[in-house]
Amino acid sequence: MSELKEAIPPKKYAKEFYGNCPNCGCGQVEGKNIDIASGDVGITEMHQPMTCTECPAVWTDIYVLDRYQNPEGFTNPIPAGDLL
């Protein structure tokens, strides 16, 4: 069933293998509903339960809030250079 000799480490998965199963490496993965959660202090995370359709693996993908974009209706100016 598995083509990998060992699981893809969590950080490597996030950078290079997003969309693939970290256990078997296939691209047949499914995500469930995303929940917003508090992570470490000052970090807001979204957690998405994931499953693989090719092997028994289940895991949670973690997304970290980075910034906002497309502001509308603001009554205060946004400092120049702060909208990337």
Which residues of this chain interact with Zn ion, rule CB under 5 A? 21, 23-24, 52, 54-55, 57
Residue with smaller CB distance to Zn ion, 19 or 79: 19
Q: Tokens 């499914």 belong to which residue?
A: 30
Residue with smaller CB distance to Zn ion, 17 or 45: 17
Residue 15 DSSP class:
H
Minimum distance, C-beta of residue 65 to Zn ion, in the bound complex (Å) = 28
Residue with smaller CB distance to Zn ion, 24 or 61: 24
**Contact criterion met (CB below 8 Å) for 51 and 21:** no
CB atoms within 10 A of CB 26: 17
